[in-house]
Amino acid sequence: MRDLPDGVSRREIDGRERVCTRGPPVYGEPTDGDWRVWDASRSKLGAMLELGMETGLAGGESVLYLGAANGTTVSHVADFAGPTYAVEFSARPVRDLLEAADPRPNLFPLLKDARKPDTYSHVVESGLDVLVQDVATRGQATVANRNARFLADDGRLLLAVKARSEDVAARPEAVFEEVRADLSDRYEVLAETRLDRFHEDHLGIVARPR
């Protein structure tokens, strides 16, 4: 398996080795002292790490997270990252996100639409190390392209593509090929892995700006 970022560890919890971060629990996950399980079945980024993808994460990065929902994954990211901006469109999950952010001074929730980066460009700094995207909407590549403006030249895009959000009737392979093509003007794909072991009809992509 690939090395994990600093601040992320594999620990034996409930009789098996689990990927964990150190921080306050958020969603009732199993814990071992200060360490809490990063459940890959509830997190696409967690699945990417569990499956051994080379994400380029080292720990301490500045992060823009799109599709933060109620904070399940982004709270783990904030446990090992630097400043972490969490964009979520729906007001109801943002209430939970605010609770997750309360003990994490480096986690900044934003009630915004990831398809409209102009609405938060005055808050989110440019030159960020990582863009994490888990937005279940049509046009996932378009969202990644529009938000590329926030990434440093040597930054990384960590994208979880949900085929059924693009086209519920299309073959996932055809959807993924279209997403790759749409990304190609702004990004170079470095790695990709199907996430079906944890998330059906999902593809994990690691890319860097062109």
129-162 confidence digits (pLDDT tens):
999 999 999 999 999 999 999 999 999 999 999 9
On the question of pLDDT at 2 being above 70, the answer is no
pTM: 0.96
CA 14 to chain CA centroid, Å, is 25
Task: Check whether 134 is labelled as a binding-site residue.
Answer: yes
Sequence-distant (≥ 6) Cβ neighbours of residue 193 within 8 angstroms: 48, 51, 53, 203, 204
Task: Check whether 84 is labelled as a binding-site residue.
Answer: no
Task: Check whether 135 is labelled as a binding-site residue.
Answer: yes
Task: Check whether 166 is labelled as a binding-site residue.
Answer: no
Task: Check whether 86 is labelled as a binding-site residue.
Answer: no
On the question of pLDDT at 1 being above 60, the answer is no
To the nearest whole percent, how much of the chain has pLDDT over 90?
98
pLDDT band at residue 3 using 50, 70 and 90 as cut-offs: confident
Strand, coil or helix: what is 25?
A: coil
Cβ pair 150, 128 in contact under 8 A:
yes
Task: Check whether 69 is labelled as a binding-site residue.
Answer: no
User: What percentage of the chain's residues is helix, strand, coil (to nearest 5)?
Assistant: 30, 30, 40
**Residue 127 tokens, joined:** 């030159």
Closest C-alpha among 123, 31, 22, 2 to residue 75: 22
To the nearest whole percent, how much of the chain has pLDDT over 70?
99
Alpha helices by DSSP H, listed for 67-158, are 72-80, 91-101, 140-146
Task: Check whether 148 is labelled as a binding-site residue.
Answer: no
Burial of 98 (0-12, 13-18, 19+ CB in 10 A): middle
Would you state the pLDDT for residue 180? Answer: 97
Alpha helices by DSSP H, listed for 84-159, are 91-101, 140-146
Q: Does domain 40-209 have CATH number 3.40.50.920?
A: no
On the question of pLDDT at 45 being above 90, the answer is yes
CB count in 10 Å sphere of residue 82: 14
Task: Check whether 177 is labelled as a binding-site residue.
Answer: no
On the question of pLDDT at 188 being above 70, the answer is yes
